[in-house]
Structure 1
Amino acid sequence: MPLTEMDTAAPDVRTARARAARIAVPAARHAEFPGPAGRDPLALLAGQDADRVPELLPLRYGRMAASPLAYFHGAALPAAADLATTPRTGFPVQACGDAQLANFGLFAAQGRRLVFDFADFDETLRAPWEWDVKRLAASFEVTSRETGHPPAQRRRTVVAAVESYRLAMHDFARRTSLEIFFAPADARTLRVVAAHHLGPARSGVPGRDTGGRRFTEIRDGQLRLATRPPVVVPAGHLAGDGDPATLADRLGAVLSRYRHTLGPARRALLDRYRLADVARTVPGPGGAGTRCWVALLARTGTGDPLFLQLKEAGPSVLQEYAGVAAAGGPGRRVVAGQRLIQAAGDVFLGWAHDADVDGRPRDFHVRRLRGGRLTGDGTTMTPDVLRSHARLCGWTLARAHARTGDALAIAAYLGSGPAFAEAVREFAVACADQNERDHAALRQAIRLGHVTAASGS
């Protein structure tokens, strides 16, 4: 990402720009949420369906209809449309694009070291930093409501997330670029979150590399991908993506294209494995209906497995509203964005451009399926644990923005008090209220037969 004149200007110049932004866009204006006039979130969601797998669309809407929180998880595009109408300060960053609680997770990095980081990058794009902060704050308000936390506790949680972002940005504004790049999360807060995830009642310990084994079974003495429709369907059982007899070969060609996006050392590592099996899977509500595959590769001679996810990439939901188009195709956009904002990298991360799976050119991003990744299920957290999670998410978001934007200018804009956090809390409450109305509208459309929904895990 090339530096701009704004990034390289003298500190006093960047601070002056931030102060000018505070005058043009006072902190209190970030409480604004768009009114109902002209909003049609169901039409936006339907517009995404045109290029998705038709047989999976009922599952998408069935999942989103389950609860207001489930709807929020799948409504990244309506959220982007709402955020686009809110005030902008003029300091872009590499945005996550869907910076909600569920898209952060606990991982085991090299050496079994626990790290907390982003877990989803489908919508990443260069965009206003405020959009990520507001989406994050709203996710904690919606989650707190789902869990039944009282209003005072919800307020404290949302403010904790935004204040953590503000304080972290002030800290990063005083650091060098290298210090920001390698900054570790607060150990005490990380321990609180890890204790919740890894207590005796929890399953899935980061560090146990189960990876894609949850999709597998033993057949004829060999590890193979299971048949668990509609969530896991082997390639040979599908008829919706061209000839099922050749689908595995076409996905192998996608992997060949992907291989060329890896460096020499990673290509050499990948070449130790051969493709053994491939199956279609269904990602979360937002991605349900897109083409997503799990590839099981086995090491020649030993049979040791490697699981890769091949996930279809399209334009970011932010693209229309941010006025930015990423070069090199959607798959490369996702990979480049992930490398910019995620601290714990993936050696198998890559993409395939213009890959032919069903007779049409499509883009995919590819990553390793690692075992033990624990994402943020806030519905099982007490108010105190959820608040610790909020602080950790706010800090992690600030680090990503400081790595890719002007930390000094953002910190100067945020100032030394809680005015911005209080305004964003009001935004989050209004957003959660609208989210409940949008969820009710979806359920009504399903009851009236305007939208087809199906249950499924």
Structure 2
Amino acid sequence: MSKNKFDDPQESATANTQAAVLSPQERRAQGSALRDVVPREAQGGWKPPRKRRDPMQILTESNEGRMPELVPIRFGRMLQSPFTFYRGSAAIMAADLASTPNSGLRVQACGDAHLLNFGGFATPERQVVFDVNDLDETLPAPWEWDLKRLTASIVIAAQYLHLKENEAARAATATVRAYRERMVDYSSMRALGVWYDNIPLERAIAEMSGSNARLRKFAAKRLEKAHQQSAVENVFLKLAEYHGALPKIKDNPPLIFHPSEEQAPGIRTQYREALAMYRESLPEHVRVLFDRFQLCDLAVKVVGVGSVGTQCLVALFMAADNDPLFLQIKEARASVLEPYAGASLHANHGQRVVAGQRLMQSASDMFLGWTTGKNGRHYYFRQLRDVKISAIVEGWDVDRLTTYGRLCAWALARAHARSGDAALIAGYMGSSAVFDDAICEFAVEYSDQNQRDYRAFVRAVREGRLEVQPEENP
């Protein structure tokens, strides 16, 4: 569709100050009118474009600039199942999504909204919330792209769990319906109310466990364990050790190792310039806290699936002998959405990630910041662990998958409502099941596409065109 005033969330906010203030009902009517251009039924189904790009070529191109010795680990993780393949193939789906219809309304999109990129984490006020928690690909883009990727991930997870086809469809439809109904709620809320809203983890746990006392007890133990594992003394014991008077990060190759000067050219100056730039990106009051710490060590730490091969680092800072701070430093590359949604407004992709994270999350890590390395690469910083809890889907039945899909949809709707116009989006979706059924149809058919792409991936590995390095405990 042609560019309009809603193509970018910031442009939309500026335009709203210049236009007449419309009621939520009037904006919902405007959203409903968009169906004349893009009917809701058109969002359904998936048919590969006639000139669809070779997915293996897209994967190979996405390795450009990665640490070549780590790429086989990335592919080894993707090889485990169609589900893990989907997690690592956001670039493939971004190209596919660009060929699908959309309403023309844009939000700050996650860019990789599969169900394992949601979870719990602690806010600076030490409340644990449930929210989208991986925003490496964030960019202003059509809101439907995030919802389609989330819903397809529900179907693919159902296949991974060997659920029935009708159960997978039921979970996917429930996810879309939850998104639609939450967006209606946000469309009627005051602007500040949307921004103040969050999902306490206790609420998410209650939703997941229901009246099952065993599940509630298990969830409480996981939360307690996350608090314990995030305690700085426990993180220090696991990741660091003293060499004389100075603490150092333990090597555990190939997953944790100290980089060479070629891999990290700022090592000679103790990354002085990059850290100074990072410091300037922090709010003034956080700089006061950060200045209490001194860098002691830095190492490469392999994380995730899609991120493997990019420069992901962990840095150890100390304020005193028993006062450590671990920061995760992740390389930020161009979003997989950029070729299709347009270039970022931010010259530094670390800043793009940080800005998107602050815009989409109800609360973000106080140490979020960005920098440029001496090698010209872009990075963003956050705390390594802060009561982070991710879903463990193994063993789930359809009810737990459905409930979790609804939670993710709630978090996604809230995130989109912060940057987009909830009333316009709600008006477009409407109050019937037409939109729900269309997106479910897309998700089911795209899961078949993911299966075909995974088989092509396996074939490329067997033929020696792609090198993999399996892991015993990825």
Q: TM-score, normalised by structure 1?
A: 0.92
Structure-2 residue corresponding to 1:372:
387
SS in 2 for 1:51: coil
Distance, in Å, in 2 between the alignment partners of 1:214 and 1:312 is: 26
The one-letter code sitting in structure 2 at the alignment partner of 1:115 is V
- Say which of 199, 203, 216 aligns to 2:239: 216
Q: CA deviation at 1:109?
A: 3.2
User: Which shows bigger deviation, 150-159 or 215-224?
Assistant: 215-224
1:48 aligns with 2:62: yes
Q: Which moved more, 1:193-202 or 1:113-122?
A: 193-202
Contact map agreement 2:98 2:340 (CA 8 A) in 1: yes
Moved more, 145-154 or 97-106: 145-154
Q: Within 5 A, what are the aligned runs for 1:232-247? A: 232-235=256-259, 238=260, 240-241=262-263, 247=267
Counterpart check, 1:75 vs 2:89: yes
Q: Is the 8 A contact 1:64 1:73 kept in 2?
A: yes
State the secondary structure of the residue aligned to 1:340.
helix
| Alignment match, 1:420 | 435
- Partner residue, 2:199: 185
- 1:337-387 Cα shifts (integer Å, max 9, x gaps): 00000112211000003x21xxx3111011111243111232342322221
Aligned counterpart, 1:389: 404
CA–CA distance in structure 2, aligned partners of residues 153 and 251 of structure 1: 52
Equivalent of 2:455, from 432, 440, 444?
A: 440
Contact 2:155 2:447 in 1 (8 A): yes
Structure 1 residue corresponding to 2:168, chosen from 154, 171, 182: 154
**SS in structure 2 at match of 1:310:** strand
Alignment partner of 1:55: what SS? coil
The one of 322, 327, 336 aligned to 1:308: 327
1:349 aligns with 2:371: no
Determine which of 205, 208, 226 is the counterpart of 2:250. 226
Query: Using the alignment, how far apart are the partners of 1:388 and 1:447 within structure 2?
Result: 38
1:42 deviates by 0.9
Deviation of the 1:417 alpha carbon: 1.0
Match of 1:133 in 2: 147
Taking structure 1 as reference, are residues 444 and 252 closer, same or farther at Cα in structure 2, changes over 3 Å only?
Answer: farther
Listed as ranges, the matches of 1:81-92 within 5 Å are 81-92=95-106
- Give the deviation of 1:425 after TM superposition: 0.8
The 1:202–1:261 alpha-carbon spacing in structure 2 relative to 1, beyond 3 Å, is: closer
Code of the aligned partner of 1:292: C
CA displacement, residues 173-227 of structure 1 (integer Å, 9 cap, x when unaligned): 1011100011233865442337569447748634332465485143447653111
Question: Which has the higher mean CA deviation after the structures are superposed, 185-194 or 109-118?
Answer: 185-194
Indicate yes or no: 2:304 matched with 1:284.
yes
Equivalent pair of 2:128/2:387 in contact (CA under 8 Å): no
- The answer as to 2:288 corresponding to 1:268 is yes
Query: In 2 relative to 1, CA 197–329 (structure 1 residues): closer, same or farther, beyond 3 Å?
Result: farther
- Counterpart of 1:271, as a letter, is D
Compute the TM-score of the two structures, normalised by the length of structure 2: 0.89
Distance 2:217 2:62 in 1: 34
**What is the root-mean-square deviation of aligned Cα atoms in Å?**
2.3
Q: 1:18 and 2:31 equivalent?
A: yes
Q: How far 1:156 moved relative to its partner?
A: 1.8
1:5 maps to which of 15, 26, 35? 15
| 1:65 is the counterpart of 2:79 | yes
Q: Which amino acid aligns with 1:231?
A: L
Instruction: Give the deviation of 1:36 after TM superposition.
Output: 6.0
C-alpha separation in 2, matches of 1:242 and 1:265? 29
Matched, 1:168 2:191: no
Q: Give % identity.
A: 38
Alpha-carbon offset, residue 258 of structure 1? 0.5
Residue aligned with 1:361, SS: coil
**2:176–2:436 contact (8 Å) kept in structure 1:** yes
Partner of 2:452, secondary structure, is helix
**Residues 311, 331 of structure 2: 8 Å contact kept:** yes
Q: In the alignment, which residue of structure 2 is the partner of 1:294?
A: 314
TM-superposed CA distance for 1:112, in Å, is 4.6
The 3-state SS of whatever aligns with 1:276 is: strand
**Secondary structure of 1:34's aligned partner:** coil
CA contact (8 A) 1:125 1:326 kept: no
- Distance verdict in 2 for CA 1:79–1:210, change over 3 Å: farther
Q: Does 1:323 align with 2:336?
A: no
Distance in 2 of aligned mates of 1:340 and 1:200: 29
Displacement of 1:322 after TM fit? 0.7
Q: Deviations over 1:95-142 (max 9, x none)?
A: 011111010011233565331011101000000000000000001111
For residue 226 of structure 1, what is the amino acid of its counterpart?
Answer: K
Report how many residues are paired: 448
Matches of 2:31 and 2:125, distance apart in 1: 41
**1:381-431 Cα deviation digits (max 9, x unpaired):** 232222111111001100011110000100111100111111111111111
